[in-house]
Amino acid sequence: MSRYTPTEILTAGLNDTRETFAHLYVVLDKLRAAAAYNYHRAYVDIDVDSDQPGRLPFHPAPAGFGGNELAIPARKVNLTGLTDAGLQLYIHGVRAAHTGRVQLLEQIETAGHDLERMLIALDGTATTTGARIAHLIDVAERHANYVPTGHHVTGWDVPVRIPGTTTYTTC
């Protein structure tokens, strides 16, 4: 009969249960990536390459930054060989994983709201930019077609130079 440490039994309960909802981590990652991509388009660079599948270019961390350590996988726990106290530890690990699942679902909901806000911001930025450009075009057209309305000038009110000379006609 194998002897397991309490940490191994708890970890087995956590890991075995987390494997049942591993797809939720993928969903959360996709939502966060889409929100970051749309935030980048809305506030940083609206001309991001549109054929990207919703991700910005990946820039790895510099050497020596850390995170290169490999996790040592926990050994599998045989549930039939556990005592009642060992089963209680395993169940505690399962309950902890379910609590983590609830928190993960809340994070997914928050990430979904973030994505909606980024899409609204992107639409708002594009709408604001379009409205501003339309306004500037209208202003430019008004300036180009401006005719002063206060004083009407006729040809007889203005001295006219006689062509080929330096003399002007007077009224």
Helix (H) or strand (E) holding 133: helix 84-144
Query: Tokens for 42?
Result: 């809305």
Within-domain flag for 166: no
Task: Tell me the average pLDDT across 135-149.
Answer: 77
Q: What is the pLDDT of residue 88?
A: 92
How many C-beta atoms surround the C-beta of residue 22 within 10 A? 8
User: What are 50-64's pLDDT values in tens digits?
Assistant: 555 555 555 666 666
Angle between helices 84-144 and 22-39 (to 10 degrees): 20
The whole-angstrom distance between residue 81's C-alpha and the CA centroid of its chain comes to 48
Residue 36 within any structural domain of the chain: yes
The whole-angstrom separation of Cα 35 and Cα 119 is 8
Residue with more model confidence, 14 or 133: 14
Cα–Cα distance, 78 to 167 (Å, whole number): 114
| Domain assignment of residue 20, given as a range | 6-60+69-157
* Range 128-133, long-range pairs (CB < 8 A, 24+ positions): 129/46
pLDDT for res 56: 58
How many domains, the chain?
1
Measured distance between the N- and C-terminal CA atoms of the chain, rounded to whole angstroms: 123
Best-predicted range by mean pLDDT among 38-42, 69-73, 129-133? 129-133
Residue 170 lies in a domain: no
